[in-house]
Amino acid sequence: MLLEICAYNIQSCLVANHAGASRIELCADPDVGGTTPSYGLIQYALEHLSIPVFPMIRTRGGNFIYDHHDLAIMKKDILACRELGCTGIATGIQLVNGRIDKHNLAKLVEWAYPMAVTCHKVFDRTTDAQQAIEDVIEAGCSRILTSGLKPTALEGKDILAELISQANGRIIIMPGGGVRSSNIAQLAAGTSAVEYHSSGLISKSTDYLADQHEIELMVQSLNKL
């Protein structure tokens, strides 16, 4: 079992590392759901953490429909992450009709190679999860971060279980969205997922600092399974 922590600052990265998390999704701009962190933050995190760091590749807040300018910027950010030595990134892209833009997502995967690529929660903006999972697999991603198209992973656990069954080992389905120490065991029992995603926050605050005890409790819960 693996716990990924979404971190918006180096302090949360260090807390998560110390508390036993397995991976960091590193982001900026929490108020818009995360954007690409600075080069300096990525480099500093890589230098001071013993766990993998997956920066988010997202040029701006808002929708996930990108033009050629956005894609050019994303390519530069991806290549910078690769040059720094990241082992993965989190990203995603959508068509106007709501489907995953598998053509351009495949380009992002190609630019990232050999880094792993997580398709982030753009997945939850699709209208057809069954089709979306096939599109993401075809694009070459390693995992999908999703709450099962519901506001929280707990609410979407039945759909998450269906997606894991459909994936059948072809891609990792990683529940995320409201994952806490109080529900992670219930999620595991209901979905059989092997990776989980959380901010490690007990409640949102202006500094978005992860809580070490909360992360430790989640790690302990997963280790008991």
Predicted local confidence at residue 92, as pLDDT: 97
For the beta carbon of residue 85, count every other beta carbon within 10 angstroms.
12
Range 2-223 has CATH code 3.40.50.150? no
Question: Where do the structural domains in the chain lie, given as residue ranges?
Answer: 2-223
Predicted local confidence at residue 25, as pLDDT: 98
Question: In angstroms, what CA-CA distances link 167 with 73, 88, 118, 129, 170?
Answer: 31, 20, 14, 11, 5
Q: What's the chain's length in residues?
A: 225
Predicted local confidence at residue 225, as pLDDT: 87
Q: State the Cα–Cα distance between residues 16 and 7, nearest whole angstrom.
A: 8
Q: State the Cα–Cα distance between residues 163 and 149, nearest whole angstrom.
A: 11
Predicted local confidence at residue 202, as pLDDT: 77
Predicted local confidence at residue 205, as pLDDT: 61
Cβ neighbors of 55 (< 8 A, separation 6 or more) are 25, 26, 27, 36, 37, 42, 77, 81, 86, 89, 90
The residue type of 76 is K
Question: In angstroms, what CA-CA distances link 196 with 69, 113, 210?
Answer: 33, 23, 16
Question: What is the residue-level pLDDT of the chain in tens, covering all 225 positions?
Answer: 999 999 999 999 999 999 999 999 999 999 999 999 999 999 999 999 999 999 999 999 999 999 999 999 999 999 999 999 999 999 999 999 999 999 999 999 999 999 999 999 999 999 899 999 999 999 999 999 999 999 999 999 999 999 999 999 999 999 999 999 999 999 999 999 999 999 998 766 668 899 999 999 999 999 998
pTM: predicted TM-score of the whole model, two decimal places: 0.95
124-159: b (≥16 Cβ within 10 Å) or e:
bbbeebeebbbbbbebbbbbbbbbbbbebbbebbeb
